[in-house]
Amino acid sequence: MQRFEAYLKANLPKVETFHPYYNNALSAMLLAGGKRFRPMLLLSVVKAYEPLLFESALAPALAIEFLHTYSLIHDDLPAMDDAPLRRGFETLHVKYDEATAILVGDALNSEAFYHISRASLRDDIKIKLVELLSRDGGTYGMVLGQSIDLFFENHPLSLEEVKVLHINKTAKLIATSLLMGAVIVGMDREKQDMLYKFGIDLGLLFQIQDDIIDHTQSDEEAGKTTKNDNDKNSFINIIGLDGSKEEADSLANDLQKRFDMFDEPLKEALNPIMTKYLYRHR
């Protein structure tokens, strides 16, 4: 984690410009902190199997964090969730203005793929990483999920439809973080598929936990705007708090069983993340 934070700070986007706050705006949400959950998944897979590639994997890990941060900036916009707080700080449209927030999100989206292009990895690996991140972070994943989420506000979906929504909006980017690590280390296709499916369920659990946190914690405790999902298809709104906790327990228990079947290098590398996040809803 410390190595990634140092790399992030050393590679914050910065340009020569007379704009009074462009660079500060680009860096604000990145420096605000965050779980760094997704880049840690990628780096853990690399650490497990090819530790000599760890330094080269920092660039695609940073790309994931850039793309995830862009999604949060846009998610908080007035046209979407209209949230004033993120990672314990004012959101960019509040601190600066809406246009700045939109443009910073656009910039971080592009910056993600710029960093993959410059990674010290084989060209075929970099092309595959671009394919995976653009697929699951864009049209066929996160953007699709966000579109469903917004369109169906005040229109309750079935539980299965809610799962489809959040698999796209949240889980696919988490799953592809693991998959990108698997691609970097040359994991065979069967293991890649196994790890991706594990990541989908891990991402779904992560979303249910976030819904529980949103319902039970204050803005100060969560570091972001909470209780802002009354019109949305959250798990809390569909199956209630108790039902969401039961769903989270069931998913977490299943993930734990599957995790226990991983080989020792992968278990050792992922264990700190699993220990911290698997049952955080309790």
Compute the distance between CA of residue 276 and CA of residue 1 in angstroms, rounded to an integer: 14
DSSP state of 215: H
Taking only the tens place, the pLDDT of each residue in 63-112 is 999 999 999 999 999 999 999 999 989 999 999 999 999 999 999 999 99
CA 233, distance to chain mean position in Å, is 19
Within 10 angstroms of residue 11's Cβ, the number of other Cβ atoms is 16
Instruction: Tell whether 282 is covered by a domain.
Output: no
Compute the distance between CA of residue 75 and CA of residue 97 in angstroms, rounded to an integer: 15
- Burial profile 68-94: b = 16 or more Cβ within 10 angstroms, e = fewer: bbbbbbbbbbeeebebbbbbebebbbb
Taking only the tens place, the pLDDT of each residue in 118-137 is 999 999 999 999 999 999 99
Q: What share of the chain has pLDDT > 90, as a percent?
A: 92
Compute the distance between CA of residue 69 and CA of residue 6 in angstroms, rounded to an integer: 17
- Mean per-residue pLDDT, 127-155: 97
Compute the distance between CA of residue 22 and CA of residue 215 in angstroms, rounded to an integer: 35
pLDDT of residue 162: 97
| Structural domains counted in the chain | 1
Residue 156 belongs to domain with CATH number: 1.10.600.10
The pTM for the full model equals: 0.95
pLDDT of residue 230: 76
Range(s) of the domain holding residue 30: 2-277
Structure tokens at 136: 């699951």
- Mean per-residue pLDDT, 155-162: 96
Residue 140 DSSP SS3:
coil
DSSP state of 216: H
Instruction: Tell whether 56 is covered by a domain.
Output: yes
Instruction: Tell whether 92 is covered by a domain.
Output: yes
Instruction: Tell whether 210 is covered by a domain.
Output: yes
**Contacts (Cβ under 8 Å, ≥6 apart) of 84:** 76, 90, 91, 94, 225
Taking only the tens place, the pLDDT of each residue in 37-72 is 999 999 999 999 999 999 999 999 999 999 999 999
